[in-house]
Amino acid sequence: MARELPKQIKDKQITHEQISQRAYEIFVERGCPEGRDMEHWLEAEAQLKAGTASTTLAMTKTTKTSARQTVSRRA
């Protein structure tokens, strides 16, 4: 009989920080549209749970830094 995995393991132990980083990347990729934060959050969470953002996670630190520099230059 197969044992049920804990929810955290099923969800690949995705952290709040990982979702936040991916949601920010989606926000920047789409041209920084205001008022769509929940949409970006839910999409980021779904991508991470599905494993479709794994390549992005490896590049998160570089992308996040570049995106912040771009946004701060606009200000």
What is the mean pLDDT of the segment spanning 11-34? Answer: 93
Mean pLDDT score of the chain, rounded to an integer?
A: 76
Greatest mean pLDDT range, 11-15, 54-58, 67-71: 11-15
pTM value > 0.85:
no
Indicate if the pLDDT at residue 9 is higher than 50: no
Comparing 32 with 13, which gets the higher pLDDT?
32
Residue-wise burial string across 43-73, b where 16 or more C-beta atoms lie within 10 A, e elsewhere: bbbebbeeeebeebbeebeebbeebeeeeee
Q: What whole-number distance in Å separates Cα of residue 74 and Cα of residue 59?
A: 23
- The pLDDT assigned to 13 comes to 85
Sign of CA dihedral 33, 38, 41, 46: negative
Q: What is the mean pLDDT of residues 50-58?
A: 65
